[in-house]
Structure 1
Amino acid sequence: MAALLPLLALFIIWGATTKPHRPFSWGMYSTSTKGLLWAEDPDGPRPITPAQLGLTPDSHYLAPADLHRLTDQADDLPPIRGLIIGSQGDWAVTYDPGRPPAIVTPLPAGTAPARLAAAFRRIT
Protein backbone atom coordinates (compact mmCIF):
# COMPACT_ATOMS: atom_id res chain seq x y z
CA MET A 1 0.00 0.00 0.00
CA ALA A 2 2.81 2.41 0.87
CA ALA A 3 4.30 1.85 -2.60
CA LEU A 4 1.10 3.26 -4.14
CA LEU A 5 1.34 6.56 -2.26
CA PRO A 6 4.05 8.03 -4.56
CA LEU A 7 2.00 7.03 -7.59
CA LEU A 8 -1.09 8.65 -6.09
CA ALA A 9 0.88 11.82 -5.36
CA LEU A 10 2.18 11.94 -8.95
CA PHE A 11 -1.34 11.43 -10.30
CA ILE A 12 -2.71 14.26 -8.16
CA ILE A 13 0.10 16.62 -9.21
CA TRP A 14 -0.40 15.67 -12.87
CA GLY A 15 -4.16 16.20 -12.66
CA ALA A 16 -3.86 19.57 -10.94
CA THR A 17 -1.24 20.91 -13.34
CA THR A 18 -2.28 23.12 -16.22
CA LYS A 19 -0.09 24.05 -19.15
CA PRO A 20 -0.72 26.35 -22.13
CA HIS A 21 -1.25 23.50 -24.63
CA ARG A 22 -3.00 21.08 -22.30
CA PRO A 23 -6.75 21.33 -22.89
CA PHE A 24 -7.82 20.75 -19.29
CA SER A 25 -6.93 19.39 -15.90
CA TRP A 26 -9.24 17.15 -13.94
CA GLY A 27 -8.80 19.44 -10.95
CA MET A 28 -11.04 22.05 -12.56
CA TYR A 29 -13.98 19.66 -12.28
CA SER A 30 -13.76 19.19 -8.52
CA THR A 31 -17.37 19.67 -7.38
CA SER A 32 -17.74 23.06 -9.02
CA THR A 33 -19.46 24.52 -12.02
CA LYS A 34 -17.71 27.36 -13.83
CA GLY A 35 -18.73 29.50 -16.74
CA LEU A 36 -16.58 30.67 -19.61
CA LEU A 37 -18.72 33.31 -21.29
CA TRP A 38 -17.86 35.81 -24.00
CA ALA A 39 -19.44 38.56 -26.05
CA GLU A 40 -19.15 38.61 -29.81
CA ASP A 41 -17.91 42.15 -30.51
CA PRO A 42 -17.07 43.52 -33.98
CA ASP A 43 -13.39 43.42 -32.96
CA GLY A 44 -13.67 39.78 -31.92
CA PRO A 45 -14.78 37.90 -28.83
CA ARG A 46 -14.14 39.35 -25.36
CA PRO A 47 -14.71 37.65 -22.00
CA ILE A 48 -17.79 38.57 -19.97
CA THR A 49 -16.67 39.71 -16.53
CA PRO A 50 -18.26 38.52 -13.28
CA ALA A 51 -19.28 42.15 -12.61
CA GLN A 52 -21.27 42.27 -15.86
CA LEU A 53 -23.30 39.28 -14.68
CA GLY A 54 -23.63 40.55 -11.13
CA LEU A 55 -21.37 37.85 -9.66
CA THR A 56 -19.00 38.60 -6.83
CA PRO A 57 -15.34 38.58 -7.93
CA ASP A 58 -14.58 35.50 -5.86
CA SER A 59 -17.52 33.48 -7.19
CA HIS A 60 -16.44 30.31 -8.94
CA TYR A 61 -19.84 28.71 -9.23
CA LEU A 62 -22.24 29.28 -12.11
CA ALA A 63 -24.99 26.78 -12.82
CA PRO A 64 -27.60 27.07 -15.61
CA ALA A 65 -30.30 28.19 -13.14
CA ASP A 66 -27.94 30.90 -11.85
CA LEU A 67 -27.27 32.07 -15.40
CA HIS A 68 -31.00 32.38 -16.10
CA ARG A 69 -31.53 34.39 -12.93
CA LEU A 70 -28.52 36.64 -13.58
CA THR A 71 -29.42 37.38 -17.20
CA ASP A 72 -33.00 38.18 -16.15
CA GLN A 73 -31.72 40.66 -13.53
CA ALA A 74 -28.74 42.21 -15.35
CA ASP A 75 -29.08 45.42 -17.31
CA ASP A 76 -27.45 46.12 -20.64
CA LEU A 77 -25.86 42.73 -21.34
CA PRO A 78 -24.46 42.13 -24.82
CA PRO A 79 -25.20 38.90 -26.69
CA ILE A 80 -23.36 36.13 -24.85
CA ARG A 81 -21.94 32.80 -26.01
CA GLY A 82 -20.06 30.33 -23.90
CA LEU A 83 -19.79 27.19 -21.87
CA ILE A 84 -20.66 26.08 -18.38
CA ILE A 85 -18.41 23.23 -17.29
CA GLY A 86 -18.86 21.36 -14.05
CA SER A 87 -19.29 18.37 -11.89
CA GLN A 88 -23.05 18.22 -12.51
CA GLY A 89 -22.80 18.40 -16.32
CA ASP A 90 -21.59 20.60 -19.15
CA TRP A 91 -23.61 23.06 -21.23
CA ALA A 92 -23.33 25.39 -24.21
CA VAL A 93 -24.73 28.88 -23.58
CA THR A 94 -26.42 31.33 -25.94
CA TYR A 95 -28.02 34.55 -24.73
CA ASP A 96 -29.50 37.28 -26.90
CA PRO A 97 -30.90 40.29 -24.98
CA GLY A 98 -33.78 40.69 -27.41
CA ARG A 99 -34.84 37.07 -26.96
CA PRO A 100 -34.45 36.00 -23.33
CA PRO A 101 -34.07 33.62 -21.56
CA ALA A 102 -30.56 32.30 -22.00
CA ILE A 103 -30.49 29.04 -23.92
CA VAL A 104 -28.49 26.40 -22.08
CA THR A 105 -27.98 23.18 -24.05
CA PRO A 106 -26.42 20.06 -22.48
CA LEU A 107 -23.19 18.96 -24.16
CA PRO A 108 -22.69 15.32 -25.12
CA ALA A 109 -20.58 13.40 -22.61
CA GLY A 110 -16.85 13.71 -23.19
CA THR A 111 -17.00 16.73 -25.51
CA ALA A 112 -16.49 19.49 -22.94
CA PRO A 113 -12.66 19.42 -22.70
CA ALA A 114 -12.18 19.88 -26.45
CA ARG A 115 -14.85 22.60 -26.62
CA LEU A 116 -13.32 24.39 -23.64
CA ALA A 117 -9.85 24.30 -25.21
CA ALA A 118 -11.23 25.64 -28.50
CA ALA A 119 -13.09 28.42 -26.67
CA PHE A 120 -9.95 29.46 -24.78
CA ARG A 121 -7.98 29.59 -28.05
CA ARG A 122 -10.72 31.67 -29.63
CA ILE A 123 -11.00 34.34 -26.92
CA THR A 124 -7.33 34.69 -26.05
Structure 2
Amino acid sequence: MEVTDKHNERIAKMTFASVYPHYLAKVEKKGRTKAELYQVIEWLTGYDETKLQKLIDNKITFEVFFKNAKLNPNAHLITGVICGYRIEEIENSLTKQVRYLDKLVDELAKGRKMEKILRVG
Protein backbone atom coordinates (compact mmCIF):
# COMPACT_ATOMS: atom_id res chain seq x y z
CA MET A 1 0.00 0.00 0.00
CA GLU A 2 1.13 3.51 -0.72
CA VAL A 3 1.08 6.09 2.05
CA THR A 4 -0.43 9.33 0.70
CA ASP A 5 -0.01 12.89 1.93
CA LYS A 6 -3.69 12.89 2.91
CA HIS A 7 -3.12 9.73 4.99
CA ASN A 8 -0.06 11.29 6.69
CA GLU A 9 -2.01 14.47 7.48
CA ARG A 10 -4.91 12.48 8.96
CA ILE A 11 -2.51 10.58 11.24
CA ALA A 12 -0.76 13.81 12.34
CA LYS A 13 -4.07 15.39 13.40
CA MET A 14 -5.44 12.28 15.16
CA THR A 15 -5.26 12.50 18.95
CA PHE A 16 -3.46 9.90 21.00
CA ALA A 17 -6.42 9.99 23.41
CA SER A 18 -8.75 8.79 20.65
CA VAL A 19 -6.60 5.74 19.88
CA TYR A 20 -5.37 4.80 23.35
CA PRO A 21 -8.66 3.14 24.48
CA HIS A 22 -8.48 0.90 21.40
CA TYR A 23 -4.90 -0.09 22.24
CA LEU A 24 -5.93 -0.90 25.80
CA ALA A 25 -9.01 -2.89 24.78
CA LYS A 26 -6.99 -4.86 22.23
CA VAL A 27 -4.32 -5.96 24.69
CA GLU A 28 -6.70 -6.62 27.60
CA LYS A 29 -8.97 -8.71 25.37
CA LYS A 30 -5.96 -10.94 24.72
CA GLY A 31 -5.04 -11.28 28.40
CA ARG A 32 -2.31 -8.64 28.58
CA THR A 33 -2.31 -5.81 31.12
CA LYS A 34 -2.47 -2.03 31.16
CA ALA A 35 0.94 -2.08 32.89
CA GLU A 36 2.41 -4.03 29.97
CA LEU A 37 0.91 -1.54 27.52
CA TYR A 38 2.47 1.33 29.48
CA GLN A 39 5.81 -0.50 29.48
CA VAL A 40 5.72 -0.85 25.69
CA ILE A 41 4.72 2.80 25.15
CA GLU A 42 7.40 4.01 27.57
CA TRP A 43 10.05 1.91 25.82
CA LEU A 44 9.20 3.51 22.48
CA THR A 45 8.53 7.11 23.57
CA GLY A 46 10.12 7.67 26.96
CA TYR A 47 6.74 8.74 28.42
CA ASP A 48 6.03 7.27 31.85
CA GLU A 49 2.48 6.56 33.05
CA THR A 50 2.05 10.00 34.65
CA LYS A 51 3.22 11.89 31.56
CA LEU A 52 1.13 9.67 29.31
CA GLN A 53 -2.00 10.42 31.33
CA LYS A 54 -1.34 14.16 31.00
CA LEU A 55 -0.99 13.79 27.23
CA ILE A 56 -4.26 11.86 27.10
CA ASP A 57 -6.04 14.45 29.28
CA ASN A 58 -4.76 17.28 27.05
CA LYS A 59 -5.88 15.41 23.90
CA ILE A 60 -2.63 16.04 22.07
CA THR A 61 -2.23 15.02 18.45
CA PHE A 62 0.12 12.28 17.30
CA GLU A 63 2.19 15.05 15.72
CA VAL A 64 2.84 16.65 19.13
CA PHE A 65 3.00 13.25 20.86
CA PHE A 66 5.96 12.09 18.76
CA LYS A 67 7.56 15.53 18.38
CA ASN A 68 8.12 15.60 22.16
CA ALA A 69 8.91 11.90 22.56
CA LYS A 70 12.41 10.54 23.12
CA LEU A 71 12.21 7.75 20.57
CA ASN A 72 14.06 4.61 21.61
CA PRO A 73 17.33 4.21 19.66
CA ASN A 74 16.28 0.63 18.80
CA ALA A 75 12.94 1.67 17.31
CA HIS A 76 14.40 1.11 13.83
CA LEU A 77 14.44 -2.62 14.67
CA ILE A 78 10.62 -2.63 14.51
CA THR A 79 9.84 -4.06 11.10
CA GLY A 80 7.08 -5.92 9.34
CA VAL A 81 3.58 -5.19 8.12
CA ILE A 82 0.95 -3.35 10.14
CA CYS A 83 -2.39 -2.08 8.84
CA GLY A 84 -1.33 -3.14 5.35
CA TYR A 85 1.87 -1.06 5.36
CA ARG A 86 5.44 -2.37 5.47
CA ILE A 87 6.95 -0.23 8.23
CA GLU A 88 10.46 -0.08 6.84
CA GLU A 89 9.14 1.35 3.54
CA ILE A 90 7.19 4.26 5.10
CA GLU A 91 8.97 7.51 4.23
CA ASN A 92 7.05 9.98 6.43
CA SER A 93 8.76 9.85 9.84
CA LEU A 94 5.62 10.60 11.87
CA THR A 95 3.57 7.96 10.09
CA LYS A 96 6.43 5.50 10.62
CA GLN A 97 6.54 6.29 14.35
CA VAL A 98 2.78 5.81 14.73
CA ARG A 99 3.08 2.48 12.91
CA TYR A 100 5.94 1.50 15.26
CA LEU A 101 3.51 2.00 18.14
CA ASP A 102 0.76 0.10 16.33
CA LYS A 103 3.15 -2.80 15.71
CA LEU A 104 4.29 -2.97 19.34
CA VAL A 105 0.68 -3.00 20.56
CA ASP A 106 -0.13 -5.70 18.02
CA GLU A 107 2.80 -7.84 19.16
CA LEU A 108 1.74 -7.41 22.79
CA ALA A 109 -1.82 -8.46 21.96
CA LYS A 110 -0.55 -11.50 20.05
CA GLY A 111 1.24 -12.74 23.16
CA ARG A 112 4.80 -12.10 22.07
CA LYS A 113 7.34 -12.15 24.89
CA MET A 114 8.19 -8.72 26.30
CA GLU A 115 11.93 -9.19 25.61
CA LYS A 116 11.14 -9.64 21.91
CA ILE A 117 8.70 -6.71 21.80
CA LEU A 118 11.25 -4.40 23.45
CA ARG A 119 13.98 -5.60 21.09
CA VAL A 120 16.27 -6.78 23.89
CA GLY A 121 19.32 -8.74 22.72
Is TM > 0.5 for Structure 1 vs Structure 2?
no
> What TM-score results when the alignment is normalised by the length of structure 2?
0.29
Answer with 1 or 2: which has the greater Rg.
1
Higher helix share: 2
> What TM-score results when the alignment is normalised by the length of structure 1?
0.28
Higher strand share: 1
Query: Which structure has more RCO (C-alpha within 8 Å, separation ≥ 6)?
Result: 2
